[in-house]
Amino acid sequence: MSLPEKFVERVYHEMGTEQGEALCNSLLGASPTSIRLNPHKPFAQPEGVSVPWNKYGRYLDVRPSFTLDVGFNAGTYYVQEAGSQFVGHILEGLDIEGARLLDMCAAPGGKSTLYSTLVGSEGLVVANEIVRNRAAVLADNVRKWGLGNVVVTNNEPRHISTFESWFDVVAVDAPCSGEGMFRKDEQARSEWSEGNVKMCATRQAEILDEAWKSLADGGLMIYSTCTFNSDENEGTLRAFSERVDGEVMEAEVIECPEEWGVVCGREGVWQTFRFYPHRTQSEGFFAAVARKATVGNRPVTPKPRRKIMNDIGGKAREELSRWVNHPEKMRFAEVVDTCYGYYAARYEDVKQLAASLSVIYSGVAMGRIFGSTLKPDAALALFADLRRDAVARTTLQKEEALQYLRKAEVAAEHFAEGMNLVESEGCALGFAKRIGNRCNNLFPNSLRILKN
């Protein structure tokens, strides 16, 4: 499938014949395959050449069948475009451990899981997605990554902005015309139009305005798209800066070695970064960074609309505590009839968010307590801080593990009587319960492998 004619005309006009031709030719070639490792789950991870701007990023020589890889299903790595991983480089030298970070347009979760790695157990990522089914995919990927420091919300930006001046970092990976994905996504090519570019720019302006309200004085804003045109990139930032006259200031300079091939620039106070497929081993990507000036704003939270979370103590807390490696760092709460674990440093923040926003997942779902015993949720198996000897452990060979991941029947003789943690290739995958001569596969339907 060829590139849209109007797109080609614009690229040649803006970049010149030589660079325009090089870009268009690159968009008709093969895409590189890149992943980002989970440093909290150092098991069964593919080897590859390092992505220069992210220490956890790897290029793979051959694209494997990720769906049939045990490590992928266990959340030991995330399949993510190399250019998108650059947001980690932007934040790397800024010491954001312990920060509150908003990822306003978060699905499917590549950047959210990256941010959760950077803020650590003392920090909190609020990953918002306005489209409900995409938010469900986001929640699944957050569960799989397993760090327990993310709140997934399903709200419009204007609802998120009721948490005024609340976040240390706000990232807007804005919905865009997707020109940077032409190489790997034929649908992006077929849906492209000049009218869609303008529509996207309008929507980006609305999202940026709301996101800005949530950013604390002195906080960092990261704006990004996967498109090339200046209307959705520099033009959007230029118009935004005019609307918030005097509130935007330069951030610390982000170093970007020339050999990376990234085109660095400025749009007013914004430092900008452009990834072109003919210059970098990446799909197309644009990012920009600036800070909010100190204008005297104080953090404001909306009035709670409901009480969702109920603190857990006593014997129930003792039972939950034995399932994690560092219970002294955690708090536990019940939501409806399910117990959740949260890092204590941001527990009160999570309660505030849950009382005002549409939260579809937060912390780590631990399961339900019957009598004095926890029936573990599948998400607990994927939690990086799971205490694995809290329950019997069963190791399956790869083919047996794939049967388990398909939610098929598994042979009872592999398992101890009662609840078992299912492992393979050093990875925790989920739970199964043996009752006599049969074994119940407790792997969740939403994550099961459908591919043969």
* Residue 320 identity: L
> 275: which DSSP letter?
E
CA distances from 69 to 60, 74, 403 (A): 14, 9, 12
Identify whether 226 is a catalytic site residue. yes
Q: Whole-angstrom Cα distance, residue 321 to residue 20?
A: 59
What's the start-to-end Cα distance of the chain, in Å?
Answer: 29
Catalytic residue among 226, 256, 339, 439: 226
CA distance 22 to 298: 49
Alpha carbon distance 244, 348 (integer Å): 31
Decide: helix, strand or coil at residue 291: strand
The half-sphere exposure of 99 on its side-chain side, counting CA atoms within 13 A, is: 24
Q: What is the CA radius of gyration of the chain?
A: 23
Residue labelled with tokens 């970064």: 273
Helix axes 5-15, 17-26, angle to 10 degrees: 140
Backbone angles phi, psi at 224, to 5 degrees: -150, 155
Please tell me the distance from the alpha carbon of residue 277 to that of residue 404, in angstroms, as a whole number: 39
> What is the rounded distance in angstroms from the CA atom of residue 150 to the CA atom of residue 169?
14
CB 78 within 8 A of CB 38: yes
Cα(52)–Cα(255) distance, rounded to whole angstroms? 12
Neighbours of 4 (CB within 10 A): 18
Residue 77 in tokens:
């790595």
Angle between helices 194-214 and 234-243 (to 10 degrees): 40
CA gap 351, 293 in Å, rounded: 29
**Residue 210 identity (one-letter amino acid):** E
Q: Among all residues, which ones are annotated catalytic?
A: 226
